[in-house]
Amino acid sequence: MGMTMTQKILADHAGLDKVVAGQLIKAKLDMVLGNDITTPVAVNEFKKIGVDKVFDVNKIAIVPDHFTPNKDIKSAEQVKYIREFAKEKGIVNFFEVGQMGVEHALLPEKGLVVPGDVVIGADSHTCTYGALGAFSTGIGSTDMAAGMATGEAWFKVPEAIKFVLKGKPGKWVGGKDVILHIIGMIGVDGALYRSMEFTGDGVSHLSMDDRFAMANMAIEAGGKNGIFEVDEKTIEYVKEHSTKPYKVYKADDDAEYVATYEIDLSQVKPTVAFPHLPSNTRTIDNVGDVKIDQVVIGSCTNGRIEDLRVASEVLKGRKVHEDVRCIIIPATQKIWKQAMSEGLFDIFIDAGAAVSTPTCGPCLGGHMGILAKGERAVATTNRNFVGRMGHPESEIYLAGPAIAAASAVLGKIGSPEEI
């Protein structure tokens, strides 16, 4: 029996000719990632290990993005602690305010992850880098500490689910809609500790930003990782952003999958996840009359330049509803600057939206858009659990940037066709 993309990458990094699902391996790491919430714990554990140096100063990235710019004294102390650690150990990729971005948008942009890499990150959405044909997965802070010290990590080789994508998405349908459609179909545990492997002719009709959004939310189906087959668009992106050597891994024809799904992208409609699970999905024509108080467009899922362009297309010449607060957060400084130079900020501000510096802020209920009791938000973020964005009696509706922007104008959940 052959191997999947994920299994081939793991076998290579473990120095083995072949691995099988369920096998325990120790694999070499190409990148270890942490943020301002998870890295302080990892630093504490690193110090317990008793080593003086990290395994490679170029293969660790620390990105303060969750509570930054620092929202209070505690968050400031946390970032100070990891800043001092990064400086002491000579870690090259510490991204300070002014250079930072939302971590999972920043690392690909900086060229720190390429096809064939093995990446662990002390953040569950580290699975984002599968869009590049890498194996990437979230781990705990203790595993981050061990990774920083040794450059290796233990893995159980995952089983795989194959998603064969066909056709071309329609207007206003992006990667977020596709992944919400899939999560709604298989459930939040439908890919539990499995690799979600995306292939098929339809992949060519998805931009890199679409793929980042989809891989990002593999964890919301319980996936160990999400990974896309590498194609010309991937290689073009990598050559534009990175000078690192890369390796393309293609699944064997006889690779084993526990399930195979065919998705016709032309049939996918704009999709919204209702509270309080990403799997509680409805197509836009079945959402009913849901009045909202806030819209957030941003995050590691949908804060990239294409997302902002879609939002601007909807908001241009229109006004945010008087009962709605609309917050737009570009995911990195580069995206922020590009959006500004393209005139998108003028459109957003003229519409009555607020534009923020890069931060994860509202997504995790950290800052920059907390919800009060009884309030509802449409967000392009990735989770809508109870209390995720603030008060436990608030509600979060997940959507792509087109639906989010249209909802901001309408004052209720709706599509661009309604405005």
Q: Which residues contact 144 (CB under 8 A, 6 or more apart)?
A: 32, 33, 34, 38, 39, 42, 45, 120, 121, 122
Return the DSSP state at 53: S
CB 398 within 8 A of CB 280: no
State both tokens at 169.
């998405």
Query: DSSP states of 304-333 as a string?
Result: SHHHHHHHHHHHTT----TT-EEEE--SBH
326 is in an annotated binding site: no
State both tokens at 236.
């073009």
The CA distance from 80 to 105, in Å, is: 23
- Between the CA of residue 236 and those of 31, 64, 135, 231, 241, what are the distances in Å? 21, 29, 19, 9, 9
360 is in an annotated binding site: yes
State both tokens at 419.
């405005």
State both tokens at 246.
């890369």
127 is in an annotated binding site: no
Phi, psi at 390, each rounded to 5°? 150, -130
Q: Which residues contact 337 (CB under 8 A, 6 or more apart)?
A: none
The CA distance from 3 to 19, in Å, is: 8
The CA distance from 194 to 189, in Å, is: 10
| Alpha helices per DSSP H over 28-140 | 39-49, 73-89, 103-109
Specify binding-site residues for [4Fe-4S] cluster.
300, 360, 363
Q: Enumerate the known binding-site residues.
A: 300, 360, 363
